[in-house]
Chain A
Amino acid sequence: GDSVTQMEGPVTLSEEAFLTINCTYTATGYPSLFWYVQYPGEGLQLLLKATKADDKGSNKGFEATYRKETTSFHLEKGSVQVSDSAVYFCALSLKTSYDKVIFGPGTSLSVIP
């Protein structure tokens, strides 16, 4: 079935380090792909998205490229800050009439000064 797999956490980085969180998916058809972020005590917020192959989503210094050939959507940021500490969820949305969104398990990121 359709699913999303993310790298296991938690991930701990020093401030200004490079971040990569891997995400791969399995889906029938051509899904839209998303990264959501959840800060402590809050709900999930959309961070970025890509709706077709080779699209690059970007926001707040984060980027992810929709790679159809490797069914991946890895999240990257060149220089993380303490304020980026959060849980990151990769997700896909199937282009069916029901708009079902499927989430990965989430990856916890802690950035230390």
Chain B
Amino acid sequence: DAGVIQSPRHEVTEMGQEVTLRCKPISGHNSLFWYRQTMMRGLELLIYFNNNVPIDDSGMPEDRFSAKMPNASFSTLKIQPSEPRDSAVYFCASSLMTEAFFGQGTRLTVV
């Protein structure tokens, strides 16, 4: 398996624009997680899904953030409108009963 695949690897956008991050989990995994990592706040869990259903979105910073998982092989994290303070590395991870496997991350820069 190719592992968890995230796209794009890097994204630079202007403040106010919509940003969509994409994730393909490992085939057969039934849990999917979105994390945000910054120097100031470390690794934060934004939302996680189980069997495509959002279980806990209490980490989502505000209404500008939304996440979907329309099927078992795809998830998106959308920020609309984006702000400079959203600049971070966003990781997607998937798991099946045990450890989580991480993607390489998307480095988002909002200018």
Contacts and interface: CB of A to CB of B under 8 A. Distances in A.
A60 interface: no
A32 B50 CA distance: 18
Q: Is the interface of B mostly helix, strand, loop or mixed?
A: strand
Interface of A: 32, 34, 36, 42-46, 49, 51, 89, 91, 93, 97-103, 105-106
Nearest to A43: B102
B47 to A, nearest CB: 11
A105 B56 CA distance: 20
The contact size tier of chain B is 20 to 34
Given A43-B104, A99-B50, A34 B99 contact: yes
Nearest to A34: B99
Contact of A93 (B30, B99, B101): B99
